Amino acid sequence: MMAKIESAYIHIPFCKQMCHYCNFVKYYYTEKRATEYLQALEKEIEAYLPENNHKLRTIYIGGGTPTALNTDQLIYLFEIIHKKIDVSQIEEFTIEVNPGDINEEKTKILKDYGVNRISFGVQVMDDSMLKELGRIHRVEDVYQTVDLLAKNHFHNISLDLIYALPHQTVEHFEKSLQEALSFQLPHYSTYALQIEPKTVFYKKHRQGLLHRPKEDDEVAMYNILKEMMAANGIEQYEISNFAKPGFESKHNLTYWSNEYYYGFGAGASGYLPGKRISNVKPLPAYVDKALHEEKPILEIDTVGIKERMEEEMFLGLRKIKGYDERTFQRKFGQDIRSVYGKQLNELKSQDLLKDEQGVWRLTDKGMLLENRVFAEFILN
């Protein structure tokens, strides 16, 4: 039976300001380069989806800042999507939005073209820290954008926060989180700051100029995060994600369930049966390859059964509901213990995993040491 591909990620790599922590594929917005990019993107999507009205379950438009596009370009993007995909069948249609970068006209365009979920890049509720992060919005913009989205009947909104920021104390994080929770949104994604190569923060870190909180403070922030979310009726369903019941991200659950998806755009990655595909990142190279060659591919990695098993465990254990070993049996035709019995027993003895009637879950300690846990599932 042919494997179904039910999700698509679409990358829009344009920003009007470069954040100091971000290493995603991104470029300063100009109208000309964005128009050329959309023409190339249309060709790439056509190469993968030659038929119109393709059936998908989720679409996620990320960046960069997708709403950095002007109104005509935003309409062009959605027309491309509507031509190739039957949007009436989409269960979850997400676009990333930054506070202050969207107006009434753009908000109505999103609504008219079927977007039903907003991923909202707030990061921290503090103007001085926003400035240090290289963000151009301020806290006032967050309130205005929440009001604008509510006015246009967007109810499925996810707010992103980052913690363990330079100079951030535990008390400051708690205050920022409390203010973010006051919006009573149905979904929150909250990540510890990662120092990524080729970023402003990476250079500062190498120079000893980035003053991050101590590890104990970072652990305290994560524990406060879990406690305050629970107290507000927002359930943790993945290591870094929290939602009111029914508002879990269906698109991200595609990733964590190790299911297939298309990846369109510069630097995007897709996971198709037996292979992972990575697109070229440089903007001119992407545009040239997409317009003049069949597909703008940088490399294709073969995903054999060993790699599939490894990824199944890395991703599945991120979910709070855990990983059911019957799923492993169904997908691979093998008992999980015949492949990973030693690792599972050792991690259980170290109080990093727990087994509840064949469902394996990270313990609280395991969540804090997730990378150590996942490394145990690499097969030699």
pLDDT of residue 135: 86
What is the spatial distance between Cα 136 and Cα 132, in angstroms, rounded to a whole number? 10
pLDDT of residue 203: 76
pLDDT of residue 20: 63
Provide the sign of the torsion angle of the four alpha carbons 169, 173, 174, 175, taken in this order.
positive
Predicted TM-score of the model (pTM): 0.94
Helix (H) or strand (E) holding 299: strand 297-302
Half-sphere exposure of 239 (CA within 13 A, CB side): 21
Quick: pLDDT tens for 42-76: 999 999 999 999 999 999 999 989 999 999 999 99
* Separate counts of helices (H) and strands (E) for the chain: 15, 17
Three-class DSSP category at 118: strand
What is the spatial distance between Cα 157 and Cα 150, in angstroms, rounded to a whole number? 10
DSSP for residue 293: S
Architecture of the structural domain at 7-256: Alpha-Beta Barrel (3.20)
Is pLDDT above 80 for 78?
yes
**Phi/psi of residue 377, each to 5°?**
-95, 5
Domain boundaries, the chain: 7-256, 305-375
Look up the CATH number of domain 305-375.
1.10.10
Could you give the angle at the alpha carbon of 171 between the alpha carbons of 169 and 172, nearest 5°?
Answer: 65
Mean pLDDT for the chain?
94
DSSP for residue 89: G
Structure confidence at residue 1 as a pLDDT band (50, 70, 90) = very low
Three-class DSSP category at 364: helix
Three-class DSSP category at 345: helix
Quick: pLDDT tens for 310-341: 999 999 999 999 999 999 999 999 999 999 99
| Residues paired with 62 in a beta bridge | 11
| Residues paired with 354 in a beta bridge | 361
What is the spatial distance between Cα 200 and Cα 210, in angstroms, rounded to a whole number? 10
Quick: pLDDT tens for 327-378: 999 999 999 999 999 999 999 999 999 999 999 999 999 999 999 999 999 9
Q: Go through 214-227 and write b for each residue having 16 or more CB atoms within 10 A of its CB, e for each that does not.
A: eeebbebbbebbee
Quick: pLDDT tens for 80-96: 999 999 999 999 999 99
Is pLDDT above 80 for 205?
no
Quick: pLDDT tens for 247-264: 999 999 999 999 999 999
Quick: pLDDT tens for 172-191: 999 999 999 999 999 999 99
Structure confidence at residue 211 as a pLDDT band (50, 70, 90) = confident
Is pLDDT above 60 for 145?
yes
CB atoms near residue 194 (< 10 Å): 12
DSSP for residue 69: S
What is the spatial distance between Cα 349 and Cα 45, in angstroms, rounded to a whole number? 48
